[in-house]
Amino acid sequence: MRRKLTQRGKDRRRQLMEHAAELFAERGYHPTSVSDIVESLGVGKGVFYWYFSSKEELLAEILRESHQDLRRRQQQAIGDEPNPVMRIELGIRATIEWFLEHRKYFTLFQFAASDERFAPVLRRNHDVAIADAVRHIKEAIVDGLVADQNPEMLAEAIVGACNQLTRTYVFDRHEPVDRTTEAAVSFCLHGIVGK
Amino acid sequence: MRRKLTQRGKDRRRQLMEHAAELFAERGYHPTSVSDIVESLGVGKGVFYWYFSSKEELLAEILRESHQDLRRRQQQAIGDEPNPVMRIELGIRATIEWFLEHRKYFTLFQFAASDERFAPVLRRNHDVAIADAVRHIKEAIVDGLVADQNPEMLAEAIVGACNQLTRTYVFDRHEPVDRTTEAAVSFCLHGIVGK
DNA sequence: AACGTTCTTGACCGAATGGTCAAGTGCTCG
DNA sequence: CGAGCACTTGACCATTCGGTCAAGAACGTT
């Protein structure tokens, strides 16, 4: 990898990342070789090692950038909504929608979570996501909208429930996203509000 | 792999599976070679291929058998409890406890979910688990204990929330399991009951 | 003790794989 | 035009991997 990238270089980099992400998601990280990536793109192997110092670094980079993108989407969806519970709902909806449009990253996050080498990156992403949710939950507790429980645990539970519903209905069974989203929102809001 | 196994053979087979599961969980499936497995056990490579026809078959077998074990534990914990909501709670508690005692399988399930080759086995395991939970949820709905929503979706949400809480607090942060379990139970029961 | 079966050995194989590099191409700007 | 940097090529390399197999050890049965 070199420092100075022209526009052409930046485009190639993006192209490599997007394409690699698709292959990784389809066949898995380890079974997808660097040769697979460059060959299906019709370029030489040297191109890969011009932009990335290793296959490992490539995936780490993909994980970082895609999570940034998801977060941007969440913040955009939340806007300046004043009600913290509503902000959580909007966040949930935005997340499910984003994964629907970027299916490949779902599998990727999942694989990375099972590999020690990517744990640091993934953990950082996860911490950021939880911290975001915790901020809203704390505010909701202060406002008396949500049961006074450990906000971090509530945040983790929300993330877990949404991910599972998304995986099963949106990816495995290809059912319409609407009902899944409604179920996720309903379950999570009742779960945090606590009768 | 051959058919007739003596007691000695069965023991070897178990030993291989347990040991491989540990290595897979520690270093990952692909980075752990068949040579790694047999060498750290002090046996020749032929031993492995006497009991398993391939590395892939080994992991599939591990996934199947460990899930059976988890299920046995759940059923044992539930016993003949008459209240369906209570059965769900007991199931949640048993699951978290089981994963605490069998940490290695948590990572393994996660990896397998990201690899197409193991999708069939994992999907089957998952379907069984959801069907189990759905039975209790349906009964709870009939009894008027739980909101009349899609029982499968509620089951998925429960599984997701529990897995996430278990992963974060029990595995990543090594916090005491009690508070995590209580949070999971509370969140899930409120989530399904629906205010 | 002898015989068939179960189990074990470890050298060996072909087929990748991640990564390197000397050589060359094409773009940009003075 | 030509110098210099950004980019590309693809043969090559050391290594490792999953899997085979002929040979033999250990066991159980009679």
Tell me the DSSP string of A34-70: HHHHHHTTT--HHHHHHH-S-HHHHHHHHHHHHHHHH
What torsion do the CA atoms of B59, B63, B64, B66 make, to the nearest 10 degrees? 130
**In this predicted model, which residue has the larger pLDDT, A128 or A169?**
A128
> Is the Cβ–Cβ distance between B129 and B120 less than 8 Å?
no
Q: Name the residue with the least CA to C1' distance from nucleotide C26.
A: A8
Determine phi and psi for A19, rounding to 5 degrees.
Answer: -65, -45
Task: Please tell me which residue of chain B has the smallest CA distance to A157.
Answer: B161
Please give the Cα distance from B38 to B17 (Å, whole number): 11
For the four alpha carbons of B159, A93, B145 and B168, in that order, the dihedral sign comes to positive
Is residue B1 scored above 80 in pLDDT? no
Please give the Cα distance from A33 to A22 (Å, whole number): 13
* Residues in chain A within 8 Å Cβ distance of B193: 190, 195
Q: How far is the CA of A78 from the C1' of C6 (A)?
A: 66
What are A158-186's pLDDT values in tens digits?
999 999 999 988 888 888 888 889 999 99
Cβ <8 Å between A28 and B116: yes
Please give the Cα distance from B71 to B23 (Å, whole number): 23
Confidence of residue B118 (pLDDT cuts 50, 70, 90): very high
What proportion of chain A, given as a percentage, has pLDDT over 90?
79
Confidence of residue B32 (pLDDT cuts 50, 70, 90): very high
Confidence of residue B43 (pLDDT cuts 50, 70, 90): very high
Is residue B3 scored above 70 in pLDDT? no
Confidence of residue A3 (pLDDT cuts 50, 70, 90): low
- Which residues have a Cβ under 8 Å from the Cβ of A148 and sit 6 or more positions away? A141
Q: H helices of chain B, where?
A: 7-27, 34-39, 45-51, 55-78, 84-101, 103-113, 119-142, 151-165, 177-193
Q: CB neighbours (10 Å) of residue A191?
A: 28
Is residue B195 scored above 70 in pLDDT? no
Determine phi and psi for A144, rounding to 5 degrees.
Answer: 75, 20
Question: Which of the residue ranges A48-52, A74-78, B172-176 would you say has the lowest mean pLDDT?
Answer: B172-176
Nucleotides of D under 7 A from a protein CB: 5-12, 16-23, 27-28
Q: Residue A170: its pLDDT value, please?
A: 84
Mean of all residue pLDDT scores within chain A: 92
Is residue B74 scored above 70 in pLDDT? yes
Question: Which of the residue ranges A14-23, B55-64, B135-144, B176-185 would you say has the lowest mean pLDDT?
Answer: B176-185
Please give the structure tokens belonging to residue A151: 């906000």
What proportion of chain B, given as a percentage, has pLDDT over 70?
97
Is residue A145 scored above 70 in pLDDT? yes
Which of B30, B116, B190 comes nearest A191 by C-beta? B190
Which of A113, A153, A164 comes nearest B160 by C-beta? A164
Q: Residue A33: its pLDDT value, please?
A: 96
Q: Residue A114: its pLDDT value, please?
A: 86
Q: Residue A137: its pLDDT value, please?
A: 95
Q: Residue A174: its pLDDT value, please?
A: 83
Any idea which residue has 């989407």 for tokens? Answer: A73
Q: Residue B2: its pLDDT value, please?
A: 54
Across the range B6-30, mean pLDDT stands at: 93
Q: How far is the CA of B25 from the C1' of D8 (A)?
A: 40
